[in-house]
Structures are given as structure tokens and as C-alpha cells.
Amino acid sequence: MAYNAFISYSHAADGGLAPALQSALHRFAKPWYRLRALYVFRDKTSLSLNPALWGSIEAALSQSEFFVLLASPDAAASEWVRKEVDYWLKSKAASKLLIVVTDGEVAWDNASGDFDWAQTSAIPQNLRGAFNAEPFFLDLRWAKVSEHLSGTNPRFRDAIATIASALHDRPKDELVGEDVRQHRKATRLAGLASAALVALTVSAVVTAYFAVQQRNIATSRALSASSTSQLGQDPELSLLLAIEAARVARTEQAEDALRQSVRQSFVHAIFAGHSDRVLRARFDHQGTRVVTASMDGTARIWNADTGNEIALLLGHADRVTDASYSPDGRSVVTASYDGTARLWDAETGDEMFVLGGHSREVYTAAFSSDGERVVTASFDGTARIWNASTGTALITLTGHERELWEAMFSPSGELVVTASRDGTARIWDSSSGVDVAELRGHTDEVVRALFSPYGEHVVTVSSDRTARV
């Protein structure tokens, strides 16, 4: 399962509680070396604005182990909550449905073996008769008036432990103990790191104070030699060694190693944070930010100068194969094996639209030069052109006999070129979807196709070991 739990809720009633609940479940009893203790799906987009989002919701439901219903009168009346409950009851076990009451009333009638629907106002009607016995439910109505919902609030922490116990399938007291142990371990590690840093600082000060000049010179020369030996394998390490050699003593060898390593080292920033292979990285229009796409199912936006993470683009249910900026740098489009492309706000990382319609994996997604359209290439053998302002599909380009590796606009935006496993590339009119030209000649799949800077030529790259213009 991609997710341990799927949170279903009314945005109007629990738009503030749901994020706090999700965040707390991610952190509760989390080992210090892991990103999350649990993976919990929560839709943060107003579904009523874009009904096409149901495809991604359905995919997330199918990949979730538990269904957590934030029950309230608003949720009971919500068409989307009822739709999510219907899907769960048809495809999953009712025993995996957990109820968290946030408002209204919930009453169980032991005589009828069902909810007392005369008194119950927080449960959707499509749960009538769904349970053979009284289901798990937790009262969180008090959280509506609480101003502080975090792990430091004992009452909220106890509620999170109750839910996490069901999701982890572990006794609550055991899980609480694990949370305490992990917190203590993280605290100890922080203390040890601080102590180690202090010890290293003291050692450096003492060594610098008592070391004689000749010993400094010998150390500097040894570091310089190490820097030179690392020059071909690890330019960054070579530069660090040369800097240290010059700091210890400005010997001739240290200055020579420093000059060589500065010329050789090109590392400006390292973007570290993905938990699996990074498949794509692109700059924004100003070169100040970079967006990366990874097999861990996320895309991330980074500061190109410092390497600091700016935003995490979380929402895809499978590997993210492509990510790129709009020409004005305000939006990012991603492509994923979950069969969708998505548009994001590049400043906040918030999801704006899901481009759903392909029947198989989406491999690439790219903006037109004016930023008004997006073209996607899919393993379903089609490319699609979308309105970047609304997320609606405009044209489907059909004609290839096999999967598409790439689709790209011409510089003017009037044409689109596609590359396919059928051994051809094709050029299309982006307004009408008409197949303008078929580029044949390769004897194996065409994996890339790009326009020249002025759109006069196309270069194709193939597994047949050739490129053609």
C-alpha cells in the first residue's frame, strides 16, 4: 500500500483539524532516521472546483490500508465524502474504516446492530448497515475549540496515540512508549552531536595553540598531497582538503593544491532530501531555483544558491518522471507513473490542477513558450495539450502505435513534436491536432525529440545509436 490511511473530511468543517491530524500521525513514534512514521493521504484541494480530481482520489483510496472518516454534519452532507465512503465499502473492508467525530452526534443502537439514525447526525447515510458490530470511533469534538493541536498537547497526543495504535496494529501503551523512546533517542543524538562538536572545537584550539610551526607545515603538506590525489575522483573533497591545508599553513604546496582544486571543482550546491533516485532537475527562468523529480513520488523546489529546500510537491501516487517551470517561473508541471500530470504553485508548493485523462503512465510534461498550455506524453500512445490556467484538456494527439517518451512545443508554440517507441517522431499542429509530418528512418525506438532554438529543425535521439536532424 502507498498509504497507511486515507483521511476523508469536509473542507468546510475540518479544514484546520485534518492537516493537524495528518501531521501528528506522520510524526508519532517516528524513528529519527525516517521521514514519516506513517504515510497518510489528505486531499488539500477543493474538489468541488474540479470534478476531474476524482481519478486521483480513487487511486489514493485503492492504495490505502485504512479509511479515517472525520465525521461531522458537514461531512455527512458532503457529496464527496459519501462518494469516498461508497468506493471504500465496495472495494475494502468496513473493519478498516475508523471514525473520528469532530462535530454533531453519533449514537450506536446495540439492539438493531446499527447506528441510531434518529440521534446520529455526523455519519453519512451510506454507512447504514455497513457494520456488524459497533465500529471504532474517537470523540475529537473538543478539538474544535482548542487553539493548540500538537504533540505537546496531552489530550491531542492521547487521541493521536489511539488512532496510531489502530493504524500500526500495535497496543496503545506500547506505541506511546515507542514514541517516548524515539524522542529521547533524538534528544540524546542531538546532545552527543553537540558534545562532539564541542570536543572537536576544543581539540582544534589546543592543537593550534601548542603545535609548533614545523608540525603545521608537515600537516599542511600532507593535506595538500591528499588534495592533489583526490583531484580526479572527488573535486569537492579536493577543494576542502586544499582549504584546510592553506588554513593550517600557507605553504607552497597548499597554495598550489588550492589553485588546482578551485579550477577543477564545479560543485555549487547539493540538493539532498529525496529518498529514491532523482530522475529530472530543471532551473527556473532566472536560474535562482531548481525543481527536481524523483522515484520517491515527490518533486521538490530548491534554492539554487544554498541548496535549501523551498517546497515539497506531494500528491502523486507513484514515481515522478518529469518536472519543469513555466516560462514566468510561477508554476511547475510534473509528470508521473500514476497516470497524471499536475500543476503546482511554484511559490507555495500548493497543487493547482490534476491533469487526468491518460490511461497509462505520463512520462513527460512541458509548457508552451507563452506558458498558456501544457503538453504531456504518455505510455498510452497519446500526447495531450492542456490549458495551463484551468487544467482542462484541449486536444489529444493520436497516431503513434506504441508508447510516447516525449512531447515538446516548438519555440513559437504552433507545433508539437513527439517521440515514440514505434521508431518514429511526429510533428503536429498544436491548434488543430493535425499530424503535419512523420519522421521515419530510425530502426529502434525514438527516445527524445527537440526543436532547434528557432524551430526550423528537429533533432531525434534513438536507441539505434543514432541521432537525426
As a three-state string, the secondary structure of 361-415 is CEEEEEECCCCCEEEEEECCCCEEEEECCCCCEEEEECCCCCCEEEEEECCCCCE
Cα–Cα nearest to 275, from 307, 323, 312:
312
Count CB-CB contacts under 10 A for residue 81.
24
**CA 74, CA 82: separation in Å to the nearest integer?**
11
- Look at residue 50 in the predicted model and tell me its pLDDT: 53
Helix (H) or strand (E) holding 19: helix 17-27
- Look at residue 297 in the predicted model and tell me its pLDDT: 96
Scanning the structure block, which residue is given the C-alpha cell 465499502? Answer: 89
**CA 211, CA 207: separation in Å to the nearest integer?**
5
Scanning the structure block, which residue is given the C-alpha cell 478539538? Answer: 143
DSSP state of 359: S
Quote helix, strand, coil % in the chain, to nearest 5. 35, 30, 40
- Look at residue 45 in the predicted model and tell me its pLDDT: 42
Q: If you write DSSP's letter for every residue of 107-153 in order, what string do you get?
A: -EETTTTEE-TTT--SS-GGGTT--SSPPPEEE-GGGGG-S--STTS
**CA 86, CA 322: separation in Å to the nearest integer?**
33
Q: What is the mean pLDDT of each run of 10 residues along the chain (469 residues)?
A: 90 89 87 85 60 81 94 93 94 92 93 92 93 89 78 84 88 82 78 80 69 84 89 82 90 89 76 94 95 97 93 96 96 97 95 96 96 97 96 96 97 97 97 95 96 95 97
User: pTM score, two decimals?
Assistant: 0.48
CA distances for 450 relative to 189, 291, 325, 366, angstroms: 50, 21, 17, 12
Q: Position 204: which residue type?
A: A
**CA 459, CA 449: separation in Å to the nearest integer?**
6
**CA 28, CA 170: separation in Å to the nearest integer?**
13
